[in-house]
Each structure stands twice: as C-alpha cells, then as structure tokens.
Amino acid sequence: MKTTIAMLVAGVLGTAAGAAAAAPDWNKVPRKTFTLFYPGTGSMEWTLIGTEHGGARAMRKGETCASCHNDEAADMGKKIVSGQKIEPDAASVKGKAGSIPVTVQAAYDASNVYLRFQWKQPGGAPGPKNDPKNAVKLAVMLEDGGKVEHARIGGCWASCHHDLRSMPDADPNASKHARAKALEILPNGPTKYLAESRTAIEGRNKPLGGWDKLKSEADFAALLKEGKFLEMWQFRSAEPPRSGYVLDARHLKAAPGLAEGRNESGNWTVTFTRKLAGGSGAHTIAAGKSYYVGFAIHDEHVEARYHHVSLGYRLALDDAKADINAVKQ
C-alpha cells in the first residue's frame, strides 16, 4: 500500500523553506549509506567511563565515535538489542532490528539546504508504543563548528544523558521541579539537554547526569547567542514537522515546509528543506564551515530511547572530504 504524507504547516524561527522551493535533481546528488543502530542505555556519561566503554580514553583525546565504530555499528546494535550489553530490559525489545541502513543525500541552492533520507522499514519493531499518533519519526540534530562539547566527537550524543526519561538514572520526582513545564519534564521526565546548560555533570557516581543542576536563564540566553546549541529538525508521519533547538531542554515548534515524507510499501523517503539563513536557535549554513550532525529514527510508534541512532558525522557544503557533502544545484 502506498501512503504519502506531506507536512507543510505554520512555523517557527523563519528557518524552514517555503512551499515554492524547487526540489533538487536527486539523480545528480551523491548517495551515502549510514547505519543507524539501537543504542540501549548508552548515554554520553556511559561512553566516558573507561571501565564500561573501551573507547573512553580515545574520546577524551578527541577521537570521534565514527572513527572507531562506523564499520561495526550493525554489530553493536545486534549485541545491544539482544541484551548482551547496555539494555537492561531486553524482553521489551525482543525481535527489534538491531540496525537500519539509511541512504543520505544533501544538496543546496541559493536559498536552501536539502537533506534526503531513504530506508526500508525493518520487520518487527517492538518496544513501548507510547506515541499512538506517529508510526515513524525522523530527527536530525545539527551543530555549528564544534562549539558544543562532544558534538564533534559524537553528534547528537552530546544531548543524551543517563538521567533522561526512560534512562536508568531518571529521577522519579523530576515533575515536581519548579521549572518542570519550561524544561518539558511534564509528564514523563527530562528531555534532551546539553552539558553547557548545567553547572555540573556527574560522570562517575550514581546517579549519572545533571538534569537538575541548571544554570541561570541569563546563561541560557548567552549560550544561545554564542551558537552553543544543537539545532533540531523532526519529521512526524502523522503530525506536522517541528523545528527548534536543544540547550537547557528540547524546544520544538511547528515548522513550515520543513519536511515531506512518503512510505511506498515499507520504503521510506523523507526530505528536509531548510533555509540557509539562521536565527535565534538556528545556525546559519554557509560554505567553508563544518557542521556536526546526527540523526535518529523512531519506528512502530516508539518514543524516547527505543530508537535507532547514527554516530556523529560532519556535514559541509561542496566539501568532498565531508561525511555528508551537500552539492550545489
């Protein structure tokens, strides 16, 4: 059965492209395949504990996750989803695919940058089905120039902490915090955040993380102005796409013309169209610069950590050495 979903709705920040934008000729755009894998409870804190993760020392020296694990992501996902490592509730994901190969293309023109993702929906994807509306979501996180700690090394892993909702050290009393609503804690617990927005992050003793060690609102405003945030785009299969950023929490609003997706007999194609110009909570995208990205797929109505994620990669315009090279059209 063929299903087509076009998400062109009212928006935010002036970053999404208008409906009149002409699509690239994708036949002329290089393709590259990345493996998204099931990460279990592998948080940023976990990756930096040497007794838990053999690559912790290399990461502390600046080595990227992809430089070690790019070719073994599928094996890692298979091991994790089976419960051999960092999945304490393997029964809830029994039968879930350990990985999903995703083909990525990127292009740009005078006004917009375009990212296209294609993948085949794997058979059987159990997990807590706590998003009844959206069978599939695809998210992209984008960072500008390595300003965010760990973003160059691990992409969106910079926002993944051991005390987020559904993670091992989630605080059951988080909803009582004075800023629970502003931090999107209600009703299920803390969302993604960056270490830059906290006064401290516990990386050795339980509980790991630092969701409640908040800096001031003035600090958040300064970090946003300095570009120390992860921009986020999200396609949703049954609701409008959203755009925004991650800093003290995840801040997303409806975005016009940001994403369009279709499902043809289990084969998904999702295309993001985003203005090159930036703004508050949105990076300016320009030639000669490096952007560090990660992407994730939530399938079969799952939420929170029960997704497939990429390692961190570098995106640039007209740079053949970049992991994702956006070519001019």
Q: Decide if 153 is inside a domain.
A: yes
Q: Decide if 31 is inside a domain.
A: yes
- Give per-residue pLDDT as tens, 107-121: 999 999 999 999 999
pLDDT at residue 186, rounded to an integer: 85
Round to whole Å and give the CA distance between 63 and 145: 16
pLDDT band for 256, please (50, 70, 90 cuts): confident
Give the CATH number of the domain where residue 97 resides. Answer: 2.60.40.1190
pLDDT at residue 4, rounded to an integer: 38
Half-sphere exposure of 151 (CA within 13 A, CB side): 29
> What letter does residue 221 receive in the DSSP assignment?
H
Round to whole Å and give the CA distance between 43 and 36: 16
Q: Are 321 and 23 in contact (CB under 8 A)?
A: no
Round to whole Å and give the CA distance between 114 and 304: 26
- What average pLDDT does the segment 227-256 reach? 97
φ, ψ of residue 223 to 5 degrees: the values are: -65, -40
- What average pLDDT does the segment 132-139 reach? 96
Give the residue from 25, 15, 3, 1 showing the smallest Cα distance to 241.
15
Q: Decide if 302 is inside a domain.
A: yes
Inform me whether the pLDDT recorded for 12 exceeds 90. no
Q: How many domains does the chain have?
A: 1
Inform me whether the pLDDT recorded for 7 exceeds 50. no
Could you tell me which residues come within 8 angstroms of residue 89 by beta carbon, excluding any fewer than 6 positions away? none
Q: Decide if 189 is inside a domain.
A: no
Percent of residues, the chain, with pLDDT higher than 70: 93
Give the residue from 162, 118, 140, 160 showing the smallest Cα distance to 292.
140
Alpha helices in 163-260 (DSSP H): 217-225
pLDDT band for 284, please (50, 70, 90 cuts): very high
Give the residue from 281, 284, 282, 306 showing the smallest Cα distance to 296.
306
Q: Decide if 95 is inside a domain.
A: yes
Q: Decide if 167 is inside a domain.
A: no
Half-sphere exposure of 40 (CA within 13 A, CB side): 22
Q: Decide if 243 is inside a domain.
A: yes
Q: Look at the block and give the residue holding tokens 């794997």.
A: 122
Half-sphere exposure of 254 (CA within 13 A, CB side): 8
At 189 the three-state DSSP class reads coil
Joined tokens for residue 258: 């940001």
At 67 the three-state DSSP class reads helix
Q: Look at the block and give the residue holding tokens 């994790």.
A: 80
Q: Decide if 184 is inside a domain.
A: no
Round to whole Å and give the CA distance between 311 and 77: 12
Inform me whether the pLDDT recorded for 268 exceeds 80. yes
- Full domain range(s) for residue 147: 2-162+217-328
Alpha helices in 70-156 (DSSP H): 73-81, 151-154
Inform me whether the pLDDT recorded for 304 exceeds 50. yes
Q: Are 198 and 171 in contact (CB under 8 A)?
A: no
